[in-house]
Structure 1
Amino acid sequence: MTTMKRRALAGLGGVLAAGAGLGLGELTAALAGGTSPVVGVGTQLIDLAPGPAKDWAVKNLGTADKPILIGTVLLAVMVFAFLAGAIGASKPRIAVVMTVLLGLLAILAAATGRTLATNGFVQVLPGIITLLIATIGILLVLRALHLNPFGGGGDRKAFAAGGSKPHQTLATGSSTAEHAAERSTERPAEPADAPAGFDRRRFLGTTMALGVAGAGGLGASLVLPEGVNEATRRGIRIPAAASRARAVPAGVSVDVPGVSRFVTPNQSFYRVDTLLTVPKVDPRTWELRIHGMVDRELRLNFADLLNRRLIERDITLTCVSNEVGGPYVGNARWIGVPIAELLREAGVQGGADAVKSTSVDGLTIGTPLQALTDGRDAIFALGMNGEPLPFEHGFPVRMVVPGLYGYVSATKWIVDFEVTRFSEFSAYWTDRGWSVEAPIKTSSRIDVPKGFARIKAGPAVAAGVAWAQHRGIAKVEVQVDNGDWQPATLAAEDTIDTWRQWTFRWNATPGNHKLTVRATDADGQVQTADRAAPRPNGSSGLHNTVVMVE
């Protein structure tokens, strides 16, 4: 067998061994509830990635960043496994070591991940299975290729010599012919076209078994029935709110095609988080712990919250990662339990100024205590737009706090709520260079016309949305090219916690024109023209678009 062919076969075997380990590791995760090897490594990459890399992914990839990252992790593993096998064709011990390193990486990712404290040994079990299966697999592949990583290289020498054993010298008293006869009785001769040192039948059997194990494990993990599924979520009935949202006034929506809908449908609502897979939390076992600097610790299950006084409110949420004119803003009708009422029941102690909330995946968020107790409609939300929270948006319970960017207020899949001081902790995002407190900045966006749209000369219309949650929008203005700022027509206001639509009618003359928008909030703060990136406390600047008038 040529060196190139031997390396190719060994590399293929390495890939199949790693695939078997991953497949059965994923199956273990699905059955036992531990950390998926791929998801564990991918999540660690997210956590360890430098800030600019995260910002770039959110800006350029949106929600596609998660499947792209999973695909990248899988590709990197397969390339590494192929190299391990190929190297093992001449240095089998290195192949085993490299394969073990892959398994250890999965274990380490789970052991140092955010959820170890809640799942203990089970968390790392899928990684252990991956390590064992992949290591056994590469050993079987090497054996089929007559490569023995523990035999001092004897098999490799035999392979290099064409598969025959070295002749003994005449000093042994035996003739070459006698040794040939002995060799002929030791094992049957291989077919004439079989590569020397290559057990074809064993190699095919080994690689097929590894392939079936990997594909079968992965396939089974994907089709296993989930304990909590869409039927579970939709089967929940949320009681009517004791305090209903006010009726939406007529005229909150402008009659201009292409403008963002006043209420963002659940399936269109933006999603920005650090999870590669969406948690499926069982509401029957879910519990929220309220503790820390309180007089009485509270432990509430999902039924407890359903039986509490519920309020219903329209609230616009904005992600701090939203660029000027970006899509990460949406408006929905939420129903939930007022956080202030639970804090009063727990009895907040003097000196507290913050709450550290924790998601089921271990992500932490720090929220100013004042924003939860100053009269705004901060809630533990159970429902969104008339149905239980979607899984992607925090089912069964999440936080919603008007006027603050999500990274300091909107904890999804929440399980822990600790009253504390900012000086006593640092949260996930503040550890990564974002500001501790982040009130939403006054912002506006042009939805129509889109950038570089072609429109007819004559009467034209521009339209969009503006927001300044918990302050409200008082005015929107539009500038054509470098002309004066002209007032836009505001749609009716629902509440100060929701965005507001606007329209601007102008006479479009032939040529290219730039439209720029700015908003003024109810406190008189004019949207700044100073350009700033989202990091560390939200983007700023004026959104503009260029149109071509014919």
Structure 2
Amino acid sequence: MSIHRTARSVLRRRRVGLLAGVLAAAAGEVTACASERGRSPASGLARGLVDAAPAVLIDAGVAVLGRADKPGLAVLATGASALAAAAGGHLAEHRPVLGAAVAGAPHALGGFLVLRGGDASARGSAAAAAVGVLLSATAVVALPLRPRPVLTAAAGAGATAAPATADTAATSTATSCTAALTAAASTAATAVVATAAVLIASRGARRRASAAVHAGVQLPVPARALPPVPVEARQGPPGLAPLLARPGEMVVIDVTVPAPRIDLDTWRLDVAGDVRRPLSPALPDLLALPLEERDLLMVCVHNPVGGSRMGCARWIGIGVADLLELAGISGDERQWLVAEAVDGYTNVLPLHDARAHGFLALGMAGQPLPREHGHPARLLISGRHGQDGNLKWLRRLTITSTPPPSYWGSRGWIEGTYPVHPASRIDTPATHTRLHPGETAVHGYAWAPPIGVDRVQLQVDTGPWIDTTVGIDLGPDAWLPFHATWHATPGRHRLRVRCRTVDGQWQQHLTTTPYPHGVQGLHIITVHVGTSPAGPADLLSVAASLVPTGQRLGAAARTRMLWAVHSASAWRHGNRS
């Protein structure tokens, strides 16, 4: 029985360590959210994972997780804290100092990474790291000192030893099973409570930060405003992405978790390098310049064919060419523009591209730029993917003839070879949707910034390519809505869409991965036309209605796994897969 008791004791210490690690991560997150500009150790670990992981692994991870990549990073960071605390609990019985050090190590490392980044409050971030270290270390060190600590009881401890008889052995087995179930339930409950606390604290912090932005920034009327978009053009059918996204509707993509909270009193945008008049304007100085509106499309380099890691919005700001003119650049088009964010992210762009298509955004959809979209200023380059041309939380622009590697260039990506290729997608109907026979509307978007699209065609099965009707044209830097009417006949059908640029270039049919030259390929969906199978019971109809959903989920999972495999293969072979 002593061996069994020892084994159960080890398991209890590990379970308590897991609970302590989860709670410590949650406590660090809540502490960071309570401060003005603090960041949690978990956020530092998440960013550290992105910085340290090979680019091929990131490509594959994004392909599998899609828009859940940030929650995935948060889970990994929290899991690391929990596993370290479990290991610390195991070591603490005989080596308490080592156990405490192991349990607190992820929080200390995460805090160090946050402070090294320099994009957060040192006091708030240090406090969050200290809370995580103290909570995890204290919990695991206290395990061997008390026979029934509170956390041990919560994890299912406290079984009383009994004489080693057949009856008591069975009772002991049942008790162990009950204890295991109780431990699993308590662990799950603790994780749920910790997650809820983090979500509440994070939501409150985001609300306070958003309120501070709106209270402290007043956008002037743009000197060059665009005409308003007609209401009927904005109102699309269910399932169609917004023509012009508002805050909260645009996908958020970056390598920092969460978004930095920048102190506007100290923030400046430095414009330096090979310029005659270096600039360092604050946000009010930028807002005092003649501003303009632009409708610009953003596309993530990891956006798959037909994917949603993209969006179009109406931005308010100043052209990069106008800003650089104030700084007095030499005009040498062979130079480069190095853009740097407060979190250390950098982009390197040919100066002629930045001047021709660059935009410094200060507002979005008539509102101050949201924090998650780069407040107080972000860089947008029409025709370039996010990782190659769009940068949030901008703090420095440098003109140089000898540029350093960009953030992704130092990770193996080829600098400046990821233009946004002509592409199109079908938003509605969704793939594997069950439709009724008859007239069916097909809606979607096509884009080819900075050239623009003049023609969109739809193909059903192996039939001819048919011209669609294009909607409002917001300009070459935005996307172009289209719609078509199709007479759906019973059966399974495949729909494809393609577009042509204004200079006559048709969209490529061959599907390629992000590396090494950007995503290309035709968006293809499958739909099922016909009524659900008839049956005497409603259950049959319900089951039939769930079939398309299951097919859609299965197809999505299969596509993501294939995309991950192809992306890894492209990195291995260094050419298009």
Q: Could you state the TM-score of these two structures normalised by the residue count of structure 2?
A: 0.74
Aligned partners of 1:433 and 1:536 also within 8 Å: no
Code of the residue aligned with 2:409 in structure 1: it is T
Does 2:537 correspond to 1:536? Answer: no
Q: CA deviation at 1:249?
A: 7.1
Does 2:243 correspond to 1:243? Answer: no
Aligned to 1:78: 82
Give deviations 1:297-351, integer Å, cap 9, x for gaps: 2111111111111111112221111111001221111101222122112122447
Does 2:527 correspond to 1:527? Answer: no
Q: CA deviation at 1:239?
A: 0.3
Aligned to 1:156: none
Q: CA deviation at 1:478?
A: 1.4
Q: Which structure has more helix as a fraction of its residues? A: 2
Aligned to 1:425: 404
Does 2:395 correspond to 1:415? Answer: yes
Aligned to 2:364: 384
Does 2:72 correspond to 1:68? Answer: yes
Q: CA deviation at 1:31?
A: 4.2
Listed as ranges, the gaps of 5+ residues in structure 1 are 147-210
Partner of residue 229 from structure 1, selected from 200, 203, 209: 209
Does 2:6 correspond to 1:3? Answer: yes
- For the residues of structure 2 that align with 1:513 and 1:462, how far apart are their CA atoms? 13
My pick for the range that moved more, 306-315 or 35-44, is: 35-44
Does 2:336 correspond to 1:354? Answer: yes
C-alpha spacing 1:269/1:35, structure 2 compared with 1 (3 Å): closer
- For the residues of structure 1 that align with 2:102 and 2:127, how far apart are their CA atoms? 16
Code of the residue aligned with 1:544 in structure 2: it is I
Aligned to 1:331: 312
SS in 2 for 1:73: helix
SS in 2 for 1:265: coil
Counterparts of 1:194-209 in structure 2 under 5 Å? none
Code of the residue aligned with 2:398 in structure 1: it is E
C-alpha spacing 1:85/1:256, structure 2 compared with 1 (3 Å): closer
Counterparts of 1:507-518 in structure 2 under 5 Å? 507-518=487-498
Aligned to 2:285: 304
Aligned to 2:255: 274
My pick for the range that moved more, 393-402 or 54-63, is: 54-63
Does 2:55 correspond to 1:55? Answer: no
C-alpha spacing 1:443/1:351, structure 2 compared with 1 (3 Å): closer
C-alpha spacing 1:112/1:281, structure 2 compared with 1 (3 Å): closer
My pick for the range that moved more, 505-514 or 521-530, is: 505-514
Aligned to 1:39: 43
- For the residues of structure 1 that align with 2:81 and 2:257, how far apart are their CA atoms? 17
Partner of residue 342 from structure 1, selected from 314, 323, 334: 323
SS in 2 for 1:229: helix
Note the aligned Cα RMSD (angstroms).
3.4
Code of the residue aligned with 1:432 in structure 2: it is R
- For the residues of structure 2 that align with 1:294 and 1:457, how far apart are their CA atoms? 65
- For the residues of structure 2 that align with 1:237 and 1:544, how far apart are their CA atoms? 44
Code of the residue aligned with 2:337 in structure 1: it is V
Code of the residue aligned with 1:80 in structure 2: it is A
Q: Could you state the TM-score of these two structures normalised by the residue count of structure 1?
A: 0.77
SS in 2 for 1:536: coil
Give deviations 1:153-175, integer Å, cap 9, x for gaps: xxxxxxxxxxxxxxxxxxxxxxx
Larger Rg: 1
SS in 1 for 2:248: helix
Aligned partners of 1:251 and 1:492 also within 8 Å: no
SS in 2 for 1:263: coil
Give deviations 1:372-398, integer Å, cap 9, x for gaps: 222x4x322111111111221111211
Counterparts of 1:449-464 in structure 2 under 5 Å? 449-464=429-444
Q: CA deviation at 1:107?
A: 3.6
Does 2:445 correspond to 1:445? Answer: no
Counterparts of 1:78-117 in structure 2 under 5 Å? 78-89=82-93, 92-93=94-95, 95-112=96-113, 115-116=116-117
Aligned partners of 1:254 and 1:491 also within 8 Å: no
- For the residues of structure 1 that align with 2:389 and 2:400, how far apart are their CA atoms? 15
Listed as ranges, the gaps of 5+ residues in structure 2 are 149-189, 531-577
SS in 1 for 2:528: strand
Aligned partners of 1:266 and 1:385 also within 8 Å: yes
Percentage identity across aligned positions? 31
Code of the residue aligned with 2:283 in structure 1: it is F
Aligned to 2:294: 313
Aligned to 2:547: none
